[in-house]
């Protein structure tokens, strides 16, 4: 939906967010200092304008419909962005301030965010950081819809209306349940990998496409015995010894307890993918977002150099 070309007002978006957050028209009216009938009329008008029912009403309050969730997310992002612009204009010559929303893969978020928060507390205490630690396809969609300031994603060149800076050439690892105390080699060849039972995400995930491309080039067939979108399901299947998976070193550190699995770098050929920092073309980085960007970039490169993230820096 193009808010700039629609008759929807920012006031209506503000009211929708207020009602959804409060869970009722009465509570939202109190919070926004608007009479409840007027608030209800604005929401009803909004539903007419977008051609969708946005709220399910019941005795227990209100809940967003599927269409309501989509507009709520867009409305919240738009209102936060406008608030950040106003804050930035008022903060000329002062330290960066405002809300910055970043999308990170969950494994990288677990590794980086605590250090990012510490850096911000010391150097940029007026910045409020919000992290979406979703799956890479979801993070890509958030970037394309300009719902976030920037994000760290694979295959940024496949996204529409997004600029990016290549950050790391990430090495992918084979992860298996550890069987006893025996030591295993630090690497495994791709010819050996294709003989194993694999648990992989669907083709909408970049990791799967990268591995399939290597299989195609090397004239191999992958033995995928389970295809799961859920990261937690893949983790549980590997933990149960029902197959192996292919992922990155931050994901191994985040999702499996030490000593429960082995993680080996895949070689001959090595399987890598490029992770980039990306931002929406239509949403120029604010001063605050640029400050967070630089902090995350520096800590990510540091993680690669000290071996916590297996890969090669590209900047």
**12-16, 122-126, 226-230, 269-273: least confident range:** 12-16
Chain center to CA of 58: 33
Residue 88, pLDDT score: 57
Query: 71-85, 146-160, 222-236, 247-261: lowest mean pLDDT where?
Result: 71-85
Mean pLDDT (whole number) for 34-44:
86
215-218, long-range: CB < 8 A, 24+ apart: 215/190, 217/269, 218/190, 218/191, 218/269
Higher pLDDT, 302 or 42: 302
3-74, what's its fold?
Answer: Arc Repressor Mutant, subunit A (1.10.10)
75-133: pLDDT as tens digits: 887 777 676 656 555 555 568 888 999 999 989 999 999 999 999 999 999 999 999 98
Report residue 265 as tokens.
């770098």
Alpha carbon distance 311, 305 (integer Å): 8
- In the predicted model, is pLDDT for residue 49 greater than 90? no
* pLDDT at position 216: 96
- Biggest CA pair distance of the chain: 71
Q: How confident is the model at residue 1 (pLDDT cuts 50, 70, 90)?
A: very low
Number of Cβ within 10 Å of residue 69's Cβ equals: 13
Nearest-angstrom CA–CA distance, 35 and 200:
53
Torsion of CA 244, 248, 251, 257, to 10 degrees: 60
- pLDDT of 140-152, one tens digit each? 988 988 889 999 9
pLDDT at 195 over 90: yes
pLDDT at 39 > cutoff 60: yes
Matching fold, domains 3-74 and 173-270: no
pLDDT, tens only, 300-315: 999 999 999 999 999 8
Q: Residue range 281-287: average pLDDT?
A: 84
- Ordered by start, the domain boundaries in the chain are 3-74, 91-166+275-313, 173-270
CATH of domain 91-166+275-313: 3.40.190.10
The structure's pTM equals 0.73
Give the lowest-confidence range in 85-94, 113-122, 211-220, 245-254: 85-94
Residue 166's SS3 state is strand
Q: So what's the pLDDT on residue 283?
A: 79
Does 173 score more than 50 pLDDT?
yes
pLDDT at 58 over 90: no
The domain 173-270: what is its CATH number?
3.40.190.290
């Amino acid at each position: 939906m193009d808010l700039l070309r629609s008759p929807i007002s920012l006031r209506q978006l503000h009211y929708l967010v207020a009602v959804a957050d409060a869970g009722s028209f009465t509570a939202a009216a109190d919070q926004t200092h608007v009479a409840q009938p007027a608030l209800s009329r604005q929401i009803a008008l909004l539903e007419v304008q977008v051609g969708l029912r946005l709220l399910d009403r019941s005795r227990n309050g209100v809940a967003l419909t599927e269409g309501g969730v989509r507009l709520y997310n867009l409305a919240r992002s738009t209102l936060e962005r406008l608030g950040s612009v106003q804050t930035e204009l008022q903060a000329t010559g002062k330290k960066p301030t405002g809300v910055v929303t970043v999308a990170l893969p969950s494994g990288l978020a677990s590794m980086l965010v605590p250090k990012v928060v510490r850096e911000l507390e010391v150097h940029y205490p007026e910045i409020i950081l919000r992290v979406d630690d979703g799956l890479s396809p979801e993070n890509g969609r958030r970037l394309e819809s300009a719902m976030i300031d920037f994000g760290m994603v694979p295959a940024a060149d496949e996204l529409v209306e997004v600029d990016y800076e290549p950050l790391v050439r990430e090495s992918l690892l084979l992860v298996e349940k550890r069987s006893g105390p025996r030591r295993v080699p630090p690497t495994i060849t791709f010819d050996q990998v294709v003989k194993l039972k694999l648990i992989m995400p669907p083709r909408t995930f970049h990791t799967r496409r990268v591995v399939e491309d290597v299989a195609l080039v090397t004239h191999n067939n992958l033995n995928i015995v389970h295809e799961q979108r859920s990261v937690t399901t893949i983790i549980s299947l590997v933990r149960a010894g029902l197959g192996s998976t292919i992922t990155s070193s931050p994901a191994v550190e985040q999702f499996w307890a030490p000593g429960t699995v082995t993680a080996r770098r895949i070689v001959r050929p090595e399987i890598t993918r490029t992770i980039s920092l990306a931002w929406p073309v239509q949403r120029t980085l604010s001063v605050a977002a640029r400050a967070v960007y630089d902090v995350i970039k520096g800590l990510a490169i540091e993680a690669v150099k000290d071996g916590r993230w297996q890969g090669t820096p590209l900047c």
